[in-house]
Amino acid sequence: MELTKILRFSAAHRLTSEALTSEENDRLYGPCARDHGHNYALEATVRGVVDADGMVMDLTVLERAMHTVVDLVDHRHLARDVPPLTGVITTGENLAAAFYRMIDRALPPGRLVRVAVVETENNRFEYGATGEAP
């Protein structure tokens, strides 16, 4: 059985690589190379056996683990204000992988299956236990 919890947060970011010039960043990332923000959804999925209480996991345990991310990033500039993201190009792919690692550390081992970062209604990024870290 799988259980997915969704939390929402708002944050600003910009897509730039320190290895590129300003012009190269503008060419590669377009308008996303400028500061802008999103109203994100963060989804975390855990897997397990339904226990005697009828639950895969206590939702408060999963929510607490997700708040290790949300409390850090909500209403912040991801690259400037969030130390674990320093030096990370804050693409949806990189955010999903970083958030997976943060949530995974806060849960019992082997329970987290997937983390999704929904950036817009058209852009969703998923990272799972078998995914490659950036």
Q: Which is catalytic among the residues 24, 36, 63, 75?
A: 75
Active site residue 36: no
Q: Which is catalytic among the residues 18, 32, 36, 126?
A: 32
Residue 15 near residue 90, CB atoms below 8 Å: yes
CB within 8 A of 120, min separation 6: which ones? Answer: 38
Integer Cα distance of 55 and 98 in angstroms: 27
Active site residue 32: yes
Active site residue 67: no
Distances (CA, A) of 99 to 4, 26, 53, 102, 104: 15, 26, 29, 5, 8
Q: Which is catalytic among the residues 63, 119, 121, 132?
A: 119
Active site residues: 32, 75, 119
